[in-house]
């Protein structure tokens, strides 16, 4: 497949496009692996525009990996604020603990991926943005551009083939921007797309999906309400019922899920934010 890719012309078109615009995001051009790690974890499942302020606030509170590792998990969860998916905050703290324990961030994808909380995508992002490792990254925006241009298949090998040696960080950032700004999921701006002549997308947005249930009825909503309630202070089940206004059954399910994820713990009859002291004492052995 890679032999048939129009590598040179695709790269030329994307480079030309990057010269015409600049996306003012605070993590653009960042080389510090800790700050990259924070931005990448926050950008998982959250739009870039929503991440900007929480990213700046989080780094103001925890400016270095050692300061994050030394923090109480409950404080990290509080600092995560309303960004959502708070499990990411706990994973970030676990990553920081492991990095401090080993004396710094590793540089290769193979080593980065062994850190708790770091998946293959984040490992590649840190390797390329911090250390300019020659790897392509495939997050949702990049995948969409490559798939629309070259069809489905192994997009990681397409990304690796397209990524120019020596300019990996710039290239991967350019591809993320192209997907986010031009090749958008629902309304792609094909008329101003630099790779339009190489694109084979037929314009069909996929079969209509069953509409998602209202957010207020989801487990994620209930989990969020409980985490918000516990941010202020610990509480019993009865107090949580009053504070969250959720039905008993939904409280039970959400508490079980939060306990299992280590986002909260139980001390006697009360629930509190963060993992228990026992879980905290073995951060690097926890699962991703």
* Residues recognised as catalytic: 40
Applying CB under 6 A, does 17 fall inside the site for ligand SF4?
no
Q: How far apart are CA 158 and CA 272, in angstroms?
A: 46
Applying CB under 6 A, does 14 fall inside the site for ligand SF4?
no
Judged by beta carbon, residue 190 or residue 272, the one nearer ligand SF4 is 190
Applying CB under 6 A, does 183 fall inside the site for ligand SF4?
yes
Applying CB under 6 A, does 196 fall inside the site for ligand SF4?
yes
Q: Which of residues 138-167 bind ligand SF4 (CB under 6 A)?
A: 145, 148-149
- From the CB of 177, what's the least distance to ligand SF4, in Å? 12
Q: How far apart are CA 51 and CA 83, in angstroms?
A: 8
Q: How far apart are CA 202 and CA 200, in angstroms?
A: 6
Applying CB under 6 A, does 5 fall inside the site for ligand SF4?
no
- From the CB of 178, what's the least distance to ligand SF4, in Å? 8
CA distances in angstroms from 190 to 94, 201, 243, listed in the order given: 42, 10, 48
Applying CB under 6 A, does 182 fall inside the site for ligand SF4?
yes
Going by C-alpha positions, the residue among 9, 8, 14 that lies closest to residue 172 is: 14
**What is the spatial order of strands in the sheet that 270-273 belongs to?**
235-236, 270-273, 264-267
Q: How far apart are CA 195 and CA 13, in angstroms?
A: 6
Applying CB under 6 A, does 190 fall inside the site for ligand SF4?
yes
Applying CB under 6 A, the residues found at the interface with ligand SF4 are 145, 148-149, 182-183, 188-190, 193, 195-196, 199, 201
């Amino acid at each position: 497949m890679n032999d048939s890719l129009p590598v040179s012309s695709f790269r030329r078109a994307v480079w030309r496009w990057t010269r015409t615009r600049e996306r003012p995001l605070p993590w653009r051009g960042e080389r510090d692996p800790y700050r990259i790690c924070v931005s990448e974890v926050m950008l998982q499942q959250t739009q870039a525009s929503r991440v900007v302020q929480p990213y700046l606030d989080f780094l103001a509170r925890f400016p270095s990996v050692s300061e994050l590792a030394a923090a109480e998990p409950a404080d990290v969860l509080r600092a995560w604020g309303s960004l959502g998916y708070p499990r990411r905050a706990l994973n970030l703290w676990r990553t920081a603990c492991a990095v401090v324990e080993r004396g710094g961030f590793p540089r290769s994808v193979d080593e980065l991926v062994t850190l708790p909380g770091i998946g293959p995508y984040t490992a590649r992002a840190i390797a390329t943005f911090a250390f300019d490792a020659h790897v392509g990254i495939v997050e949702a925006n990049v995948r969409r551009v490559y798939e629309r241009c070259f069809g489905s298949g192994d997009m990681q090998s397409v990304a690796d083939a397209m990524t120019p040696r020596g300019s990996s960080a710039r290239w991967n950032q350019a591809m993320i921007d192209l997907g986010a700004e031009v090749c958008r999921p629902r309304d792609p701006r094909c008329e101003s797309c630099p790779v339009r002549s190489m694109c084979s997308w037929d314009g069909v947005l996929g079969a209509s999906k069953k509409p998602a249930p209202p957010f207020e009825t989801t487990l994620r909503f209930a989990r969020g309400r409980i985490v918000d309630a516990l941010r202020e202070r610990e509480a019993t089940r009865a107090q949580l019922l009053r504070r969250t206004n959720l039905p008993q059954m939904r409280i039970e399910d959400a508490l079980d899920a939060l306990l299992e994820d280590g986002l909260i713990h139980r001390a006697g009859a009360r629930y509190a934010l963060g993992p228990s002291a026992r879980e905290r004492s073995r951060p690097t052995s926890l699962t991703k």
